Amino acid sequence: MEEHTDFPLVSAALEQIKIVADGINEAIRDQQNSDAILQLQALFLEPVPLLRYSRILIKQGRIRKQNGPKAKKIHFVVFSDSILIAKFVAPSALSKKNRLELVDLIPIDEHFCLQERVTEVDLANDDSDEDTDNKTGNEDSNAVIVTTDPNSEPMRLVFPDEDSKAAWIAAIKKATTPVHSIFGLL
């Protein structure tokens, strides 16, 4: 087949088709990412501009943030450049959907640190909140600690099970790996 006179031309055309197809696939992924970020953005009561060039939504979902004995349910989002924490706002008479209120948008920089193994960590007791529960059990095995800068309190994030914890750790590592490799923290 390689002896055919048209083989070099057909091979070159095939390479060009692959390049165009890769470009189209990349554009589709970018659009899907933008759509997902805009859908998330629409859930906030107050405008929160989340769409940004090169920002990738890696993972989002409900987890618990624990300070002291109380754990608050939060919406946790891992972007390629930041971590978003939002609290849930109950549906109102005007809107039947749960909405979100921004708690924090934390940049992923050289100060961001993930501690996967949690033992006895003494975190300050958080004030009571209507969206809390008092589950304790074996949460240390399903928890991680995130430190965002040297002057802030560490956050204890609690997951329902080991599989969920592993998935969230993978997402956070995916976001932090480029930053930490730039600063030589790997």
pLDDT at residue 67, as a whole number? 75
Contact predicate 75/59, CB 8 Å = no
- Mean pLDDT to the nearest integer, 131-138: 43
pLDDT band at 145 (very low <50, low <70, confident <90, very high): confident
- Name the average pLDDT for the chain: 81
pLDDT at residue 140, as a whole number? 58
Q: What is the pTM of this model?
A: 0.75
- Backbone phi and psi for residue 121, each to the nearest 5 degrees, phi listed first: -115, 125
Question: Which bin fits 68, alpha (ψ -120 to 50), beta or left (φ > 0)?
Answer: left
